[in-house]
Amino acid sequence: MRKALPFLSGLLGGAIVVAAALLLGLGDGDDRTTTTIVRQAPLTAQAETAGGSSAADAEDDLTAAEIYEEHAPGVVFVRAQIVGQTQSPFGLEPQQGEATGSGFVIDADGNILTNAHVVDGAVKVTVQFDDDRTVDARIVGKDVSTDLALLRVDPDGLDLHPIPFGSSKDVHVGDPVLAIGNPFGLDRTLTTGVVSALQRQITAPNGFAIRDVIQTDAAINPGNSGGPLLDATGKVIGINSQIATSSGGNVGIGFAVPIETAQEVLPALKQGKPVERAYLGVSSRTIDGSLAGAGLPVKRGALIQSVEQGSAADKAGLRAGGISAQLATGESVQLGGDIIVAIDGKEITSSDEVAEAISAKKPGDKVKITFVRDGVRKTVEATLGNRPVDNSG
């Protein structure tokens, strides 16, 4: 995204500021010379917090060129040798290929963060640094539910450039961002844009939802996966993960997993342990205006659509509906099930709030589920289980 509007400080990476100085000639004539000085404007977060200060202090803001010069050396080119199986008339046969993506150094110990789908099924992983040096990397940990993976290289003899973490909670729609990665194998490519939306939801490779995702119009293409999304101060606020496209290329809608999500799972990844998450075992549907004519006993809550057999919800006695109905919107819905209206005494008004309440817990925690069944309000206690690895089925 490029703009050439002079004297505006809030422009993005391709913006320039032009200052014209009129120099008078030394002779007696009317000769005048105009010199144009071109410099890049700093990236400035335009949104303000309640206290009146910008999301990123103006004095800390850098130009896109300055951010690239400082942090591009911390971005690596990830190559993963993949071995899979393909069906043929002779049965399953091995198939080899190479997946490429991006990653970035997070500390001096040689830890590198990337996307899980970049190294999925890999039998060998290498990373290439900005000096073209390529070294082997080990997959230390992987969390498919957040599409994050941690690689580790031997730091001896390497000039590592860790990129500092920022906070996605401090950004606003309209704030400038930069992506550095390796789209289509073109190493350490810089693109710029803005935060287009916040609190989006995307689907992880295993079918579970990744929440609080950052949407950006900074160009993100295949090969950018696993690279950093940076704010105006050069700090990582997200890990570029997916794009919305019908052509396979960028259409201005990219998604980055928030850095806070990575910080939550990093302790387990560094130890090579699976990330454990609480699991209730229900799918639900938010009660909204489209269900106004369904004869529900409440106007707000989460209508249970299914209950997994043997899950915490099943053991607690929660029930799904058995009456299939089609709404005016064309959506199919199951009526007649329990409606969750509170968890641990906190009101529930949507299915997202159910997921958020459970995600704040740990496996083995006990929660009180308040629900409405046949117009009667009831409360049961459920002992949360461990979320399964896959939800794609």
Q: Are residues 303 and 316 in the same domain?
A: yes
Same domain, 98 and 221: yes
Domains held by the chain: number? 3
The answer to whether position 1 is within a domain reads no
147 given a catalytic annotation: yes
What one-character-per-residue DSSP string does 73-107 give? GGEEEEEEEEEEEEEETTEEEEEEEEEEEEEEE-S
The whole-number pLDDT of residue 94 equals 55
Model pTM score = 0.73
86 and 32 in a common domain: no
Does 161 map to a domain?
A: yes
One domain for residues 311 and 366: yes
The amino acid present at 197, given as its one-letter code, is: A
User: Which domain-ending residue is among 71, 89, 104?
Assistant: 71
- Asked if residue 2 is part of any domain, the answer here is no
Instruction: Decide if 161 is catalytic.
Output: no
- Are 91 and 229 part of one and the same domain? yes
pLDDT of residue 252: 73
Domain annotation covers residue 392: no
- So what's the pLDDT on residue 317? 95
Domain holding 370: CATH number?
2.30.42.10
Closest C-alpha among 25, 7, 31, 205 to residue 119: 205
3-state secondary structure of 353: helix
pLDDT of residue 39: 44
Query: Given this model, what pLDDT does residue 58 score?
Result: 53
What is the domain extent for residue 62? 16-71
Are 329 and 343 contained in the same domain?
yes
208 and 312 in one domain?
no
- Domain for residue 391, yes or no? no
Whether residue 252 sits in one domain with residue 159: yes
Q: Are residues 109 and 245 in the same domain?
A: yes
Domain end, chosen from 52, 71, 90, is at 71
Partners of 165 in the β-ladder: 236
Residue ranges with strand state E in 165-286: 176-181, 189-203, 209-216, 228-230, 236-243, 254-258, 278-279, 282-286
pLDDT of residue 311: 94
| Residue 6 within a domain | no
How far apart, in whole angstroms, are the C-alpha atoms of residue 256 and residue 146?
11
Instruction: Give the pair of three-digit tokens for residue 325.
Output: 């109905």
Q: Is 82 left (phi over 0), alpha (psi -120 to 50) or beta?
A: beta
Pull the structure tokens for residue 310.
């043997």
Whether residue 116 sits in one domain with residue 86: yes
The residue with tokens 């009146």 is 52
CA distances in angstroms from 29 to 23, 36, 98, 292, listed in the order given:
13, 22, 69, 83
- To the query of whether residue 61 is one of the catalytic residues in this protein, the response is no
- Shared-domain flag, residues 185 and 86: yes
Of 214, 239, 273, the residue that ends a domain is 273
Which of these is catalytic: 54, 71, 102, 117? 117
128 shares its domain with 183? yes
Q: Is residue 3 part of a domain?
A: no
pLDDT in tens, the chain (393 residues): 333 323 223 322 332 233 333 223 333 444 444 444 444 455 665 544 444 444 445 556 788 889 999 999 999 999 999 876 555 555 555 567 888 999 999 999 999 999 999 999 899 999 999 888 999 999 999 999 999 999 999 999 999 999 999 999 889 999 999 999 988 878 788 999 999 999 898 988 888 889 899 999 888 888 889 999 999 999 999 999 988 776 666 667 899 999 999 999 999 999 999 888 999 999 999 999 888 778 899 999 999 999 999 999 999 999 998 888 888 778 889 999 999 999 999 999 999 899 889 988 999 999 999 999 999 999 999 999 998 877 655
Q: Check 147, 175, 231, 314 and give the catalytic one.
A: 147
Catalytic residue among 145, 168, 196, 225: 225
Which CATH number belongs to the domain containing residue 187 in this structure? 2.40.10.120
Residue 378 within any structural domain of the chain: yes
